[in-house]
Every structure is written in structure tokens, then in C-alpha cells.
Amino acid sequence: MLRPLSARLEAILALTDPCKLAADVGTDHGLLAARLIQSGLAKTVLCTDLSAPSLDKAKKTFEKAGLVAFARFLEGDGLKPLAGYDPELVIVAGLGGDTICRILNESPEFVPNRTFLLQPMSGHETLRAYFDAHGFCVQEERLVAENRRIYPVCKVRYDGVVRKSDPLALYCGARNLTRTDEVTRAYLCRVRAHLKRATRHESALESVVRALSDRLADFPQNKEDERI
Ligand SMILES: C[S@@+](CC[C@H](N)C(=O)[O-])C[C@H]1O[C@@H](n2cnc3c(N)ncnc32)[C@H](O)[C@@H]1O
């Protein structure tokens, strides 16, 4: 029995469409990749990691679950170990937003015609700005709360269309601005607190803070609550 997935990894799984070949870049423990196979969402999975000891952890997870025949284990940086393979889905989770941008940027030939599920631990706005500037269409973005932090999970595909970034959407995520659930409210409150601090050095952000306050005023419970 494999240990259950964290809320963050469950949120990624929930956005996964069935596919023949998936890749989990920076797989580490390999738990998400193993669940892709166990759940039938992927027939085969490519597990990659920059670190050999991390990749060994993934191999052990697959051995324990009796799933080694359904996986390849590839050591290397970002998308580079995937050269020669054609996964329909590529997951990059648990890395910083700036690292995910670098990973995409260093393999432009590999990016078209696949779905990416990207879950940054930091630099959320950096990643959203990258999507707009580099022709990625955001198909879905969901927020997930884990260990008192809130993370976005972004489902994107490259369509080559460069988009003009809306500042509020960059910081909040366009889809999150249309939702009124508790996790979204907590996320937007945190973004506003962060932006308020940043206005001390960057007064241009004041209009974004005002727009965000207007948006938060629409929520059913308009209180600054850090329960999540
Ligand atoms: C925090 S763990 C995340 C594990 C798993 N993806 C998750 O979300 O729970 C980050 C893993 O990514 C690997 N990693 C970091 N930078 C990488 C890169 N440029 N290419 C591939 N793997 C990388 C690390 O070695 C580590 O195993």
C-alpha cells in the first residue's frame, strides 16, 4: 500500500485527463506518478529527476507497488531527459515558479502539443506572466490549501498566442477572480497583504490593491481570516 497523496498532489490528479504516456518531472518520491498508473489515468509514466537519490526513491515506490513495468526512470534537468519520448501530459510540481519558467524556456522544441500541469511552490505571478509572454493558454487553474499555505495548480497548453497581462490576474490568477469559495478568499486576502507591503516600494501596485479590495468586497463573508 502506498501512502495517501497530499492535498496538493490530489489536486493535480483531479486535473489529469486519461493519457497513454505521462511524465512527472522532479518526481522525487514518485507517489504521484505511481498513482497515475494505479488509477488508470496513465498507461505508462516517465519519472524524471535531477537528483539520482530522488530518482531512487521513485524506483523504490514503484517496486513497493509492483508497478515498475509501467515506468521509466530518467535522470536529468527539466524536460531534457524526455527527448525522444512523446508524453501527452507533463507534470512539474513542487518546484519554484522561476525554476518551472526556466525548465519550459530551455526546451522550446518540446513544449507544443502537450498538456502541462504545473504547480509552483512560489513565484505564482512569475509563472502566470511567463504563460502570457510565451504563448501558453491557461485552460484551468485551481487553488489547493496544504500546511497553511495555498498553491495554484495550472493546466496549460502552448498555442503560440502572446497575451497582454492584466496586473490583477497576474497576482491572483484570472480564474480565481471568478470564484467565491473559502480557499480562494483566503488566497486573495494573502495576495492583497503581500501587495500592500510591496506598495511601500512600488506605488504602481496601489491600483491593483484597490481592484483586489473591490473584488474581495463581493465575497459573502468579507473578513480577513487566516484559518486556511
Ligand atoms: C520538493 S520535490 C517535489 C516532489 C514532487 N514533484 C512533489 O510535488 O511532491 C522537488 C524535486 O524536484 C527535483 N528537481 C529540482 N530541480 C529540478 C530540475 N531542474 N529538473 C528535474 N528535477 C528537479 C528535486 O531533486 C526534487 O526531487
pLDDT digits (tens, 9 = 90+) for 10-45: 999 999 999 999 999 999 999 999 999 999 999 999
In a domain, 1, yes or no: no
Count up the domains in the chain and report the number.
2
Higher per-residue pLDDT: 218 or 93: 93
Question: How far is residue 49 from each of residues 130, 148, 156, measured CA to CA in Å?
Answer: 23, 27, 21
* Final residue in a domain of this structure, among 146, 162, 178: 162
Pairing of strands 42-49, 115-120: unpaired
Q: How far is the CA of 139 from the centre of ligand 1 (A)?
A: 24
Residues 141 and 155 sit within 8 Å (Cβ to Cβ): yes
**Residue 139 belongs to domain with CATH number:** 3.40.50.150
Q: How far is the CA of 94 from the centre of ligand 1 (A)?
A: 6
In a domain, 45, yes or no: yes
Q: Which pLDDT value is given to residue 72?
A: 98
Sign of the Cα pseudo-torsion (106, 112, 114, 118, in order): positive
Three cell numbers written together for 40: 488508470
How many whole angstroms separate alpha carbon 192 and alpha carbon 195? Answer: 5
Cβ(5) – ligand 1 distance below 6 Å:
no
Q: Which of ligand 1's atoms lies nearest the C-alpha of 119?
A: 8
133 and 228 fall within a common domain:
no
The model's pLDDT over 103-139, given as tens digits with 9 standing for 90+, comes to 999 999 999 999 999 999 999 999 999 999 999 999 9
Cβ(103) – ligand 1 distance below 6 Å:
yes
Maximum CA extent, the chain: 56
Q: Which of ligand 1's atoms lies nearest the C-alpha of 94?
A: 8
Q: Which pLDDT value is given to residue 20?
A: 98
- Structure pTM? 0.96
* Final residue in a domain of this structure, among 162, 184, 211: 162
Full residue range of the structural domain in which residue 49 is found: 7-162
Residues 33 and 19 sit within 8 Å (Cβ to Cβ): no
Three cell numbers written together for 16: 489529469
Cβ(95) – ligand 1 distance below 6 Å:
yes
Sign of the Cα pseudo-torsion (3, 5, 6, 9, in order): positive
Q: How far is the CA of 40 from the centre of ligand 1 (A)?
A: 23
